[in-house]
Amino acid sequence: MTGTLKRGGMAMIAFLQAQNCSNLPGSWRHPATQQDFMSAAHYQRIARSLEESKFHLAFFDDRLAMPDSLGGDHAETVRHGIRAVKMDLIPILTAMGLATSKLGLGGTYSTTYYEPFHVARVFATLDLMIGGRAAWNVVTSLNDSEAANFGQKEHLEHDLRYDRADEFIECVLGHWATWADDALVVDPVSGLFAHPEKVRRLDFNGKWFRSRGPFTVPRSPQGHPVIMQAGQSGRGTAFAAKWGELIFASMKSAEAGRQIYRTFKDAVSNAGRDPNLVKMAPAVYAVVGETRAIAEEKRAVIEATAAPADSLTLIAEVTNFDFGQVTLDQPLSDTQMAAVGINLGLKERVVKGSGKTNPTPQDFIDFSKRGTLNESVVFCGTPKDVADQMEDFFLTEVCDGFVLSATHRPGAYEDFGRLVVPELQRRGLFHQDYAGTTLRENLGLPRPVVT
């Protein structure tokens, strides 16, 4: 298969982190991990390898604080390297863009802690510098540690964050649509630089945000960056269905995923948009070996990288609750349970899995599996085994593609590209080559036009 990605082909996205480990905190302890994570060369090497394997997109998550909710302290996080480093991703995306020519490059920026004009300008500039391959993952952020880094006492309430985010994104998209596609002339002979009637001022006046304009960055070859989102709650899904073009999901099984997928596609239709133009992809791991025995051996090595502190540190971070207040086997009180945030549906999963209304911290570790390989779906086995599982997900409408997390970097992506990609291509499930040079062309997404 060549050409655009309609329902006929999977979207393949690499889930990257501008940090000392991948999404899996133990990954930096993996014997094959390359430890030069603070160098451009590290990310450029990954970018080139992903492009060789025809990945549509490499995308970075973000968090604006170190995980320090557990015990209100960062010592264990730093000692064990539990996502202790978190660099800004725009310079890294730029470096990766300069090492590639087709790979899409996406980054997460927060609507809670940044300003719309700033985000609009950063991503529009990135999109120009890399020839129309940029994407913005819109998040509302997570916890009080992030709030503290931005001079605030506590993180805003969940639904309110999305109300603000609605306005934020309206403002960003507004700025991106203020230069007509043919506004620029740049004719030194006539002296006409741009048509003044084709550049308008936005004059955005919202409840939370104001931004006047005129915007200072013209349009890119793909119009503007692709919008990515990962809301999963009722409010988050409504937001994603309204604005998102590429949606990330956290799902624990094909069955659960099918339900999430159907609910989401219905929400997109209800928002008056074409569900075929909004792709959904779950975060997954792939552990692949030439034989099943080799794959299982690799999996054992990966699982052995986990440290005892990883899980609860990241549970405290994502729930915005200090689990250090209770011992591991002490049930949380009703008041404490109420204070546990609901991000990623983690609380519900633990209550359901343990069968307890008041689970202990150990229950949270056991039933959320946070910070371990088994937190996400794991496709493990030979190239054929892994392709079979991915094919099943794709053809039975669990998803339109995959967000591949790395068990270690860069080896996990190299294994996948060498062993699984050819098998998916042989089956006609994954494109043989890029359809064009912009991310929109390669994902089969329409280019927004401004006249």
Per CB under 6 A, residues contacting ligand FMN are 61-63, 108, 139, 141-142, 230-233, 236, 248-250, 283, 343-344, 403
Compute the distance between CA of residue 428 and CA of residue 412 in angstroms, rounded to an integer.
23
User: What is the smallest separation between the CB atom of 230 and ligand FMN, expressed in angstroms?
Assistant: 4
Closer to ligand FMN by CB, 94 or 233: give it. Answer: 233
Closer to ligand FMN by CB, 230 or 332: give it. Answer: 230
| CB atoms near residue 189 (< 10 Å) | 5
User: What is the smallest separation between the CB atom of 63 and ligand FMN, expressed in angstroms?
Assistant: 6
Residue number closest to ligand FMN, CB atom: 236
User: What is the smallest separation between the CB atom of 298 and ligand FMN, expressed in angstroms?
Assistant: 23
Take residue 429 and report the two structure tokens written for it.
Answer: 């499930």
**Cα-based torsion angle of the residue sequence 433, 438, 444, 447 in order, rounded to the nearest 10 degrees:** -160
User: What is the smallest separation between the CB atom of 190 and ligand FMN, expressed in angstroms?
Assistant: 47
Closer to ligand FMN by CB, 93 or 139: give it. Answer: 139
Closer to ligand FMN by CB, 142 or 278: give it. Answer: 142
Closer to ligand FMN by CB, 135 or 403: give it. Answer: 403
User: What is the smallest separation between the CB atom of 161 and ligand FMN, expressed in angstroms?
Assistant: 8
Compute the distance between CA of residue 203 and CA of residue 318 in angstroms, rounded to an integer.
36
User: What is the smallest separation between the CB atom of 367 and ligand FMN, expressed in angstroms?
Assistant: 18
**Cα-based torsion angle of the residue sequence 323, 328, 333, 338 in order, rounded to the nearest 10 degrees:** 30
User: What is the smallest separation between the CB atom of 166 and ligand FMN, expressed in angstroms?
Assistant: 13
Closer to ligand FMN by CB, 220 or 343: give it. Answer: 343
Compute the distance between CA of residue 442 and CA of residue 451 in angstroms, rounded to an integer.
24
Is the bond preceding residue 214 a cis peptide, omega within 30 degrees? yes
Phi-psi region of 223 (alpha: psi -120 to 50; beta: other; left: phi over 0): left
Residue 291, burial from CB neighbour count under 10 angstroms (0-12, 13-18, 19+): exposed
Give, rounded to a whole angstrom, the gap between the first and last alpha carbons of the chain: 34
Closer to ligand FMN by CB, 145 or 425: give it. Answer: 145
Phi-psi region of 16 (alpha: psi -120 to 50; beta: other; left: phi over 0): beta
